[in-house]
Chains A and B, each alone.
Chain A
């Protein structure tokens, strides 16, 4: 092929020019659309509310540490008793026991919650920990009332008692978590 023959082919005609313009416009449109999408997506992520839950906490004073330790011993008993109480109800619902078995299992737990409350109130709490102690004492009252409510099933067989007791117990369990988070921040580990 000679250079003289090739030259006219390099010269674009109107049709080629037209296609070229269309292609450039299309490419520009694609770039514009992509940028627009990216602009739309980016702020969405940035605007997310970022919760910073893992803030460092101030160290406890010696008095607070002593109180937390003393409460821990009570808490260990309460926590196990609370789960036992739940299982008394679960067993009954799963057919593993009759009405009287609830009374047999739960009545000793009422005593545990009562005893825990007495011990807790006897603890000397530093002023900063008094609201915490009061909240925990409130949870113990809820647990105690829940246990007494459950026992009523043995008398009349009405499951409404169990529902009422479960609601109280779950509220108390929530308080245990709140207090635990404050006093024993390593209590719960990833499982």
Chain B
């Protein structure tokens, strides 16, 4: 009897060990780069981070910066043969004058600087559907788009809102819409998302999803927009979490401040920050979409950087074993 129990326990232990072993071998480390698709120039700091609003004459480093330049960062993630983009910037040059943009180039040309072809991109995971994060889908015809169902529901909810017209407006004034529920989704962007769906090149995600072994989508609903989503990526320097505009500012994640409030519930944004702390063990490996310190020593994850076409910057964050540097 004792022998049988021992055998059973040993068997169970072997099964558990095998399961863990398989799972560990299954997940592979990915290589990661960051690309500055464009840069919004001279944005009032207070409009981006209310806790850091400019106060004339203030000597407090938190309140003595008037304007900031905000990069629009795109994650380029290579896991084995899969090439993933997290967000995809924008490519309608008509936005340039509207937004005071610099450093812009088409994303497909920017990733060519890393030696990647647009046709090689197999997946595009958008942190949310705003025009500056989902605006280059047509450059990557082979890529499958991953978007949260909640993101689409959120826009539609606003469009059909029976009350005040401001709630359902896709734009509210000539100076630019902001904060209203359907703001930030011009027809062109929504059309291109729909185009992916129609062509069978989209996965509508409900909550959490593992898109590759160890590469996992986490919902962060209302952390920036209704259906914001994060992406966990295993790498040689530990897990990274990409946050799009739920993680607009890396300093804000570090200092627990809200940033880039649009269709945002500040509590949900903090919970999204916490998710990065939990997954990565801190804030260093949280990848922010608009952090002004990107590509400098002050945001260490992105410091291994260089200047590419039209002044747009790139960073080599980490390489998987066997991957050679693409830094030029």
Interface residues in chain A, defined as those with a beta carbon under 8 Å from any beta carbon in chain B: 45, 48-51, 53-55, 57, 68, 72, 75-76, 79-80, 82-84, 86-87, 89-91, 93-94, 159, 162-163, 166-167, 169-170, 172-174, 176-178, 180-181, 184-191
Contacts and interface: CB of A to CB of B under 8 A. Distances in A.
Given A45-B307, A178-B94, A191 B245 contact: yes
B110 to A, nearest CB: 12
A186 B175 contact: yes
B198 A89 contact: yes
A187 B98 contact: yes
Contacts of A93: 194, 197-198
Interface string B284-313: 000000100000000000000001111100
Contacts of B130: 191
B292 to A, nearest CB: 12
Nearest to A184: B174
Given A76-B169, A86-B191, 20 more contacts: A48-B309, A51-B96, A54-B100, A68-B174, A75-B171, A80-B168, A80-B169, A80-B170, A82-B187, A83-B182, A86-B190, A176-B187, A177-B186, A178-B94, A184-B174, A186-B174, A188-B99, A189-B98, A189-B177, A191-B183
A49 B109 CA distance: 13
A170 B104 contact: no
B65 interface: no
A49 to B, nearest CB: 6
Given A48-B311, A53-B97, A186-B174, A94 B186 contact: no
Contacts of B325: none
B93 A53 contact: yes
Given A94-B204, A159-B198, A188 B100 contact: no
A137 B43 CA distance: 34
Contacts of A87: 152, 155-156, 159, 190
B188 A174 contact: yes
Contacts of B318: none
A48 B171 CA distance: 36
Interface in B211-259: 245
Given A166-B198, A174-B92, A54 B102 contact: yes
